Amino acid sequence: MHDFANKTALITGASRGIGAAIAEALAQRGCHLILTCERSMDALTALSVRLSATYEVPVTPVRCDAGDAEQVAALFDAHVHRLDILINNAGRSVTGLIQDLTPEAWDALMRTNLSSCFYTSRLAIPKFLAGGGGAIVNISSVWGDVGAAAEAAYSATKGGVAAFTRALGKELAPSRIPVNALACGFIDTAMNAEYNDAEREAIRAEIPADRFGTPEEAAAAVVRLLEMPDYLTGQVIRLDGGWI
């Protein structure tokens, strides 16, 4: 997919961070956008207005909990009439010992980080087939590959995203619909703002690149994945500065 002009992309969790950077990168290339978030509608609306004015492309902001099957179905019924690109970016993190995590918090994390990929993909695929093609990129984490202490639940969700990506890539390969994932390391976003200065310095010291990644770098990697031949599918690509 080398020509993004007039293509339509759905990006979940797009109000800030990686999702917002991906939205800007695709708008810059002429892509029409449908952007969702669960809570931060003021930020999402402001982003949508700015991108539409700056790049002269249609941008539709929608409040939608990507981890709620009924809300995702309503999103598709009302706003997704054609679709070329699906970016499953919605996510949240939970830090703490597994014995301190409630079943309710576990379920909420699973819905947002993993079930959301299923809810959107199952409805996007018929749109792709009707339109002659499409592509899916799931935003994952290096912890889905190796796990992280005090982040067992989060790691489990991202491990699920990796397995889902590999399996769905095989399933859709005959239809030439690539499915890939970007497994991010420490990207300097609001999600990682919970770390104090000492913790951030300790993490940075572990990263061979000697710095954190930026949302813009993650967005550039997503664009590159979308530009690759559809023979690249079912892959989980790390963006981590050599960390893992």
List, by residue number, the catalytic residues: 154
Alpha-carbon separation of residue 184 from 33, 162, 177, 187 (angstroms): 23, 12, 22, 7
Type of residue at 224: R
Type of residue at 27: A
Rounded-to-integer distance, Cα 193 and Cα 188, Å: 8
